[in-house]
Amino acid sequence: MEDKEILKFCKEEYKGFLIYSELAKSEKNPKRANILRSLASDEKSHYEFWKRVSKGECKAKINRFELIAVKLLRRVFGLTFTLKLLERGEERAINGYKEFFKEAKDIEEKNEISKIIDDESRHERELVGQIDERIVRYMSFVVLGLADAIVEITGVHAGFLGVTDNTIMAGIAGLVVGFSAAISMASAAYLQAKQEVGKRSPTTSAMATGLAYIGAVVALALPYFLIHHMFKAFSISLSIGVVLIATFNYYSSIVLEKKFLREFVESTGLMLATAFASYFFGDALGRFFGIRGFFT
């Protein structure tokens, strides 16, 4: 194996040690802090092994901005998401470690690299899996609220695109329908959580669904109050919908280990199909009743 690969392994393990150590310092939950310290300890021993293999050539350091970015991720998206994102990089490193294991001739080195591979595999399977975060427990309800709001409200706006050129009317319609639908969805989430046997609170489940729904509704309706051109407002609102879909699908793909592209394409396709169908239905109604442009 080339020396540059060994140096890369060494630097990555040192970076992991620093990141987990910094996260442990700022973690208030004792159980999570212990998990982070355990991860940091493993990474430090791995770094020391690769430093010995590199014969002291490894001069590891980390960019301060990288630490700040990781801390920001943890604060915004939670610890589980942050750790699983970091562990994804380690999964790629494991393949390189296995190649080194095949090439190593020293029995002691083989034993140490085998332990490192076991440690890296254990990180996500055991340690990261022990973290119990509220954001993860209620993520399915948040995603439910966002996904339903994006499809439904985009459909409402597309329908009005076929009926009127008045952006204010379209925006108000989206808010009214969205508010009513948010209450309905929150009620459904409450009843669903009541039927489950587990740690999820029906009240929190309802709030997660309802607030996610309302948040998406406001974001999708906002362009109609700021831009008084129906097609431009619709295009921007549609773009916001795509960004929201990409965001929650990426989060789910990391935390639940799903395929991002497939989920993103399916969700976006459903939104666009609904928008097209609603537009043609609204246009047909406008022509039939002769109200096209009535609210302009």
DSSP string, 92-145: HHHHHHHHHHHH---HHHHHHHHHHHHHHHHIIIIIGGG---HHHHTHHHHHHH
Q: Provide CB contacts within 8 A for 148, sequence distance 6+.
A: 181, 185, 213
CATH code of 73's domain: 1.20.1260.10
Confidence of residue 165 (pLDDT cuts 50, 70, 90): confident
54 and 142 belong to one structural domain: no
Among 115, 130, 145, identify where a domain stops.
130
Q: Provide CB contacts within 8 A for 160, sequence distance 6+.
A: 169, 170, 173, 230, 282
| Tokens (6 digits) for 53 | 């293999």
List the domain range (segments joined by +) for residue 187: 135-289
63 and 194 belong to one structural domain: no
pTM over 0.85: no
| Tokens (6 digits) for 113 | 């690299």
146 and 248 belong to one structural domain: yes
Instruction: Assess whether pLDDT exceeds 50 at residue 101.
Output: yes
Q: C-alpha 213: how far from its chain's center?
A: 17
Using only the alpha carbons of the chain, give its radius of gyration: 25
Report helix, strand or coil for 196.
Answer: coil
Among 69, 100, 130, identify where a domain stops.
130
Among 112, 130, 148, identify where a domain stops.
130
**Higher confidence at residue 99 or residue 124?**
99
State the pLDDT at residue 153: 93
Burial (CB < 10 A; 0-12, 13-18, 19+), residue 257, is exposed
Do residues 275 and 161 make contact, with C-beta atoms less than 8 angstroms apart?
no
Q: Shortest CA distance to 248 belongs to which of 223, 216, 219?
A: 216
115 and 154 belong to one structural domain: no
Task: Provide the number of structural domains found in the chain.
Answer: 2
Confidence of residue 9 (pLDDT cuts 50, 70, 90): confident
Q: Considering the domain boundaries, does residue 220 fall inside one?
A: yes
Residue 78 DSSP symbol: -
103 and 163 belong to one structural domain: no
154 and 50 belong to one structural domain: no
Lowest mean pLDDT among 41-45, 94-98, 245-249, 258-262: 94-98
29 and 158 belong to one structural domain: no
116 and 188 belong to one structural domain: no
CA distance 63 to 66: 5
- Count the neighbouring beta carbons within 10 Å of the beta carbon of residue 181: 20
- Count the neighbouring beta carbons within 10 Å of the beta carbon of residue 25: 11
119 and 202 belong to one structural domain: no
Q: Considering the domain boundaries, does residue 294 fall inside one?
A: no
**Mean residue pLDDT across the chain:** 84
Question: With pLDDT > 90 as the criterion, what percentage of the chain qualifies?
Answer: 28
State the pLDDT at residue 294: 47
